Amino acid sequence: MLSLGNFDNERLIFHATRQTLRKAEMARLALHEWLNQHDSQLEAWKSKTASEHGISVSELEQHLLSVAQDVSGTRSREDDSDDTELQE
């Protein structure tokens, strides 16, 4: 049986999760719309940057994706180590 305090914590966690998901979805929609509005500018930037580096646009896109994945992985590992430190 759940205690009242535990039940309240579960409700707060559920509510925070719902709010976080709602905010994430709003951000995704806003970003998607912004990307659609600025697609031509982004394509021009990619072409210019690829040309400056002497690579194709697809190579530039692959490089940008790999850098983003590396950054994401680094943040994930940092978050994991922060969680481990908090548990100790």
**Digit-coded pLDDT (tens) for 30-86:** 999 999 999 999 999 999 999 999 999 999 999 999 999 999 888 777 777 665 555
Give the Cα separation of 75 and 87 in Å (integer). Answer: 18
C-alpha of 21 from chain center: 13
Residue boundaries of the structural domains of the chain: 1-37, 40-88
Give the Cα separation of 38 and 55 in Å (integer). Answer: 23
pTM across the whole model: 0.56
